[in-house]
Structure 1
């Protein structure tokens, strides 16, 4: 049984790792030239019931604990004047909640747990066609070709594998801009104190300015706007971004001014909440390829859980992988639907005229709970 995984993100690598633990080989085809070819983004809060559970099944729970930062779970929410609305502080050193880990550190943890030849770099999948006797012929950018018995699309929002199963139209969710502030403790101690060890959200009307502490001492600054408010191409320079937040406390807009990277804008999209498909032999999807959701903290967690559950079912029924895939898909559809609905509601709440009041109500119960509660 030759298994090909398109995409070497967190979902694809988790699938390869859990399969490897069950003695099943897989090949991961990744478009990047190497693990360090591009930034992997900010930090993730791994949830006990999904991301952490997947890492436990991958045998990497101890590795996660050595890399994670429980203090990164601290969360501050302020209004445009800088007034604190919510301040959630986790119990020091506790892993009982949703500790943060840098995406790059988590990806390296997964990569280092796999045999060296598992990931084939510089392989951007461009087409997959059925073979007469079953399985798939794979074509990659640059003319490379391969084949497999089972193809798993873990290739993200613009999945090449997805059209083999379902035809969906992505819908715009928001426009986001990312900037970076390096060496913040030394160069901008005031911003370091403002953000703290975790996350800061500055919530206005239909817009959010956020900052996130990374393990390397930098800040990842994010701007979130409604998708139809401004063309993404108009968000490429600092003056335009500062105009959006005119009248906000200068301590907050200093996050934009201090950035030492060019603004990186992009449109965030989602698949329809009720996306599903009729099972097809030898192919399936996981993560964003299967269920692209609003970015409110569930995407990577659910992708990793998808991977662990798919690997478990394939390992439990190696004689009938198509039945294993059908079982995985049925369970995944049932699990994801309410999560996708919740994600859409939270995203709409965050970018609304009443966002500050709504977010305070949303987070206050959690902030009032004992720090050890998950």
Structure 2
């Protein structure tokens, strides 16, 4: 494989990373690579990062002592987030996404035709995703606004409860069966997503919530950035039963690069070997099939193996897949083809 294989990635957090930083000009920082991050224009070009789901994540408020939730330590009980500050954060990040588009850094895509056109033109294809829907009101009026702004994917919860459902904690080891699932408002949200053509992401939701979505939704079951619980027993990962349900729905699972969701010991260590990523891919392919697995890096939202480092290191994983025995056709499906086929069935209207 002489040419880099383009990667369409299931999840990154660069918008929130830039928007919550103290960098004075986030657009220039993205264009030039002058701010420490996993995804920027130079790194994307170096690693074959061709696009993906760009998450809008609204952080929890400060704790009573004035501190923010710890970064990679993962707060065990993030504070709930109210509607008004969540909407303000979401608007700020979506504005940044469109300023990046105006600067020529990427193209905001509402359909797979637009994704393919952007990739063919050498532009990063960005699909707007909402990670945790605290910015959406119970009447779902803001959902219509977000859809008009390009929203095509959302996760009802982050690992934090809201009016729509309940999220899993980050403790380790643990089961994803940690509490209730969707509320009545959450069921209405899933129904609205099905009607509009918005992907429903099951990463971060409780196992009960997963099965609630499976009951309500008419669409495929998708976890954009989760791994295999049998290998790494984190509540963020998928059980054998959940993987079977994803396969039965012709859904999708994206490999999360976060070391604490990869390693059997759950440790957050950069000296994590790429081999464990391949173990998860092997298990995913065995469980759901070659056409239902992709990549969901969690760039700019998690600690990565040093061998990958950032989006610039994506071809290291591609090369490891090849050495592991994956053929070029399979690698292309895992790198971008499966995501595009899934999105075509969900968001194209």
Asked if these proteins are the same fold (TM beyond 0.5), I'd say no
Of Structure 1 and Structure 2, the greater strand share is in 1
**Please, what TM-score do these two structures have when normalized by structure 2?**
0.28
Higher relative contact order (CA 8 A, sep 6+): 1
Of Structure 1 and Structure 2, the greater helix share is in 2
